[in-house]
Structure formats: C-alpha cells, structure tokens
Structure 1
C-alpha cells in the first residue's frame, strides 16, 4: 500500500513528535516542521526514511508553503496536515498580561494555524486531504481573563468553519482538543496528566476514519 504523507507543525517535541512517531508506525510518511533544526534532525534519524526535516517558522506563510512544496516533491503529495504548533503565556489575565507576549502568541496560535490551512488547501482541493488542528479543553470553556483560552476558542471556531468549506472538495477537518498534557509546554512536569502519546493516538484515530466520515472533534481529558 502506498504511504500517504502528513505535514506536522511544532514537530520537534511534545505532541508533534509523538504524532510523528505514531504516524510512521501506522504507515505514513511525515514532514517535520519546526524551528529547532537539531531536534528535527535527531527525530528524523530515529524515524528513518519515512521522515523529512523541514526547518521553518510556523508564523511565516512563506516558510510553510515552501516546506509543504519540499515535502510534496520528496514524497509525492501532502495528504494531511496537523496544525499543532502553539504557545502559552507567562502572565495570566488582562491586567497582568504582557501585550508583547499576546502578539507573539496570536502570531503562532492564530496566524500560524491560518497559514497551515492556507498552504495545505492547495493540495487538499485536489486530493481530498485532511487538516487537523490542536485545540484545547481551554477552548471549550471560559477561564478568567485567559487570552490563551481565547486563542484556542478561535481554533475551535475556525475548525468548524473550515470543515464546512473543505467538504466542498471532499476534504476533512478535525480539531484535537486535549486537556492538560505533560509536555515541555509547562515548566513543571505533570506526571498524572495526559501524555503526548495519548493525543497522538487521537490524531491517528481521526486520520484512520473511513473516507465517508469526518471526525470533526476529538475531546480527550485526563482521568485525574
């Protein structure tokens, strides 16, 4: 069976790296997109011939378009994309929040997602592809003063709107909405929370749905 190809942003660590491992195990090629060239190279060495390192900045449409073009040239197409790159804030709330941090977060959590969708749409309009986005439990509830939560509300709303647009081409859209995950996103370890591998399995589940079915949201929470 011919391997399909998945483009992943934020692929060097955490959910992105775990998804890359799971995807290769389940028969996919992967394009690993992130700013950290060293970490991408290490992960590519681990995954072998079915992975391609694509250093770049998710806040740049040009970088994402160039990376997807390289991936398509290398493996033949871009069949799915996972807009996973994201960041949080060091100061919570509006009064205490840092406007420069807000701008940096919006560039990644909002504009970076838009750029992945825009770049991938050029392939999906032809191949009935699949776009996945990392949302959050924080994007399904109101959290006192949280600008981060609001950025994830955007992801959830945009994913639904994209699903309506992409279905015109037979393409699919899924938002993956985890609760707290034990990743480098947090300064302190969260050993009793979800692991990146739990989220990666959710991605594989959505990708593996019958082509007639679009799993529009996977909402996964830690038991504790």
Structure 2
C-alpha cells in the first residue's frame, strides 16, 4: 500500500536517500528542508506526482506547523513521519566546543524534533501511522564530553516516550541508530562509513513491517574492518 511520508532534513544525505527509496517503492513524499533549490531539484527528479517541496526552517515552530498543514492539504493524510533534520558538533568534547554550536545542536536535534512530533501526531493518530526518528550510534554509550551525543541520547529516550503516546492510538515509533554515514554532514569523505542508501533501506524495512510488528530501535552500523 502506498504511504504518504513526510521527511525533514530531506535535501541531502539520509533524508534525500530515504525519499528516493520511498518513491521507488511506490510511496509519496513531502520533503522539508531549508534549501528550496535542492528540494525543487529533488522533486523534479522524483516527479511532481510523487513529491512535494516544503521549504522549512525546522527551528521555527510556526514554520513547522505550516509545513504539516501544507503536506496534509496536498495529500489528504500522513502515514509516516521521518524526523531526520540534524546538525553535528564543531569540535570534540565540551571544553573545546562553542556555546553557539551547543545552542544550534540542541535547537535542531532536540527542540525541532519535538515541534515535528507535536504538529504531526494528530495526523499519525488518525492514520494509526508511524513516526521514525533519526538517532545515532552516539547515543549507545559515553563519548568524550560530546554534546552531540547527548542530543542523540535525548532522541533515544524521546522515541520511547513518543512510542507510549502514539501507541495509545495504535501507531508505532521507531528510532534509527546509524553508525557513521558518509554524507555532507562531514567536511571530508568517509570511505569506510555507511552510505545513505544503507539507512534508507533500514527505514523502508521498519515502515514496511506488518501492523502487528513494532521495531522500537534499529541500529545500523558499518561492519568492523579486520586486519
């Protein structure tokens, strides 16, 4: 069955790849990100019958409310939401980091996800839909003073809390936990890392499960290299 999927952070990397794989699988997508030109180019590739561009600053709750309203007006419903927008650290640890970097990570990686959830939950409740959050391997253990890791610990716990809330209506919540992925998130190529397509396949695996199956957390890591 074709699903209506809203994706934040959709213009590049994991979000873009999830959009491409979703459309290839027969789903339709609403694509949110700040970069309007990249979104429009992606919609052109995917076809206007399959994709909708929603230029949005996810840190602005009013903009997110408009984003959701436009997606629902266009498609009539929401079945899946992928809260994927996120930013990384500017330096290793806390002492070497900047206050501005901390603020941005908490605003984008934490607060913005709560906005996405707030405005999409009524529609997912109605459709008994599926919310997917992009977490990280960084939330699976302690990392040297990492504020970024702490924001992903928030996502890990928030996913469980949302699972209780949406589960009351028969919906599902899944948190993906990618290891390092070779995306524009990094300033240099990561040849030994996962590819965005790897995470997109995991995303589709999670949302294509039968209604009675719940995958609350799905880690996807690069295979360890052996000497």
- Shorter-chain TM-score bucket reads over 0.9
- What's the TM-score once normalised by structure 1's chain length? 0.97
- What's the TM-score once normalised by structure 2's chain length? 0.96
The match for 1:198 is: 198
What whole-Å deviation, never above 9, does each CA across 1:85-125 have from its counterpart, x for those lacking one? Answer: 00011122121110111001110000111111111101012
Figure out how many residues of one structure are paired with residues of the other and give that number: 223
The match for 2:90 is: 90
The match for 1:27 is: 26
Contact kept, 8 Å, 1:181 with 1:194, in 2: the verdict is: yes
What whole-Å deviation, never above 9, does each CA across 1:180-214 have from its counterpart, x for those lacking one? Answer: 00000000001221000000011100100101111
Contact kept, 8 Å, 1:178 with 1:220, in 2: the verdict is: yes
Contact kept, 8 Å, 1:34 with 1:40, in 2: the verdict is: yes
What whole-Å deviation, never above 9, does each CA across 1:49-101 have from its counterpart, x for those lacking one? Answer: 20000001111222112111111111111111000000011122121110111
Secondary structure of the equivalent of 1:102? helix
Secondary structure of the equivalent of 2:168? helix
Q: Does 1:139 align with 2:139?
A: yes
Q: How does 1:15-94 map to 2 (within 5 A)?
A: 15-48=14-47, 49-94=49-94
What whole-Å deviation, never above 9, does each CA across 1:124-143 have from its counterpart, x for those lacking one? Answer: 12110110000000011100
Contact kept, 8 Å, 1:58 with 1:108, in 2: the verdict is: yes
Rounded Cα–Cα distance in structure 1 between residues aligned with 2:10 and 2:94: 30
Contact kept, 8 Å, 1:128 with 1:169, in 2: the verdict is: yes
Deviation (angstroms), 1:217: 1.1
Rounded Cα–Cα distance in structure 1 between residues aligned with 2:97 and 2:210: 44
CA RMSD of aligned residues (A): 0.9
The match for 1:168 is: 168
Rounded Cα–Cα distance in structure 1 between residues aligned with 2:53 and 2:117: 20
The match for 2:186 is: 186
Task: Give unmatched runs, 5+ long, in structure 2.
Answer: none
Deviation (angstroms), 1:178: 0.5
Contact kept, 8 Å, 1:92 with 1:147, in 2: the verdict is: no
Segment of structure 1 superposing worse, 112-121 or 59-68: 59-68
